[in-house]
Amino acid sequence: MKHRNLRLCLALTALVFLFSCKKDAAQKRAKSGPDPTEKEKRAADTWQTVIDNSSFADYTAFEAQWNYLYPWGADHNGTARMYGSPTDHNHVSLTNGELTLLATRINWDEGVSSSVPHLPIRYHSGAIHAKHQVLINDQYPNYEVKGDFQAPSSPGTWPAFWLTAVNSWPPESDILEFKGDTQNWFNTFRTPSDVSSTLVNVPSPGNWHTYRAWITKVNATEVDIHYYLDGVWKAVHRGNFVGKPMWIIINLQMEGSSGSNGPTTNTYYKAKNIYVGRTAAG
């Protein structure tokens, strides 16, 4: 009987230990978020690179993949008007594989923003958008969008790296957005009033950091968007984005949501190693 009780105690101890290990592993996964490598392994489809990290190598490579300004024009939700073209690189320039967007204060009257008519234009700045549009559907169920950025964070500066609707807003996914301080806003807009926001403090945003979104189709209408900073998972938001094409935009807007007291000196926003890839169903 003593030996039987000993064996029973050992078996119960082993079960408790096994349960404890599984619980600890589950808690660690919950804290760290999904492993993107495992998510990629589960996608048995063909991986396609849409934009590789050489698109800022020179203006020929750049203009093959990117357009100047916003998709809709020069103005949007702030006091900066965007300038840039194949013959005007004052505010959108390339050097050593890096994109630089420059915002400068103007001292003349250039009217008001066509996007927000009560806002006066107080800056000239730069914006670009990719020719490729992100579209999650049965054919392309997974997307990765990422890049390295040096972002301004002083009051009145509003840099962004984001996806937004081609046809009718929203959807919108903000992968990088600073509003005049060192907090990055990971945002997902499902409707104008239904928004998920995860705010993450970024040490020294003016140094290089990597911002990443992994977007995966989870059902007929919805996607999960996993947001990462410097390779560390920060949040997952769900949105009804299936079948809705989105632009990829990099821009340096000013004031607006970042405050009304913007800088009087030049503001710089830099990007490199922009990468976009997707899985394609066979």
Active-site residue flag, 38: no
Polymer length of the chain: 282
Q: How far is CA 245 from CA 145, 168, 212, 263, in A?
A: 14, 10, 19, 35
Closest CA to 83 of 103, 69, 97, 64: 69
Q: Provide the 3-class DSSP secondary structure of residue 257.
A: helix
Q: Residues 38, 177, 222, 255: which is the catalytic one?
A: 177
Active-site residue flag, 172: yes
Q: How far is CA 188 from CA 105, 165, 173, in A?
A: 31, 12, 5
Place of tokens 């030996």: 3
Place of tokens 């911002």: 211
CB atoms within 10 A of CB 2: 6
Helices (H) and strands (E) in the chain, counts: 3, 17
Q: Residues 110, 172, 222, 255: which is the catalytic one?
A: 172
CA distance 155 to 27: 38
3-state secondary structure labels for all residues of 101-158: EEEEECCCCCCECCCCCCCECCEEECEEEECCCECCCCCCCEEEEEEEEECCCCCCEE
For residues 134-143, b (16+ Cβ closer than 10 Å) or e, as one string?
bbbeeebbbb
CA distance 263 to 187: 25
CA distance 180 to 159: 9
CA distance 282 to 143: 16
Catalytic residues: 172, 177
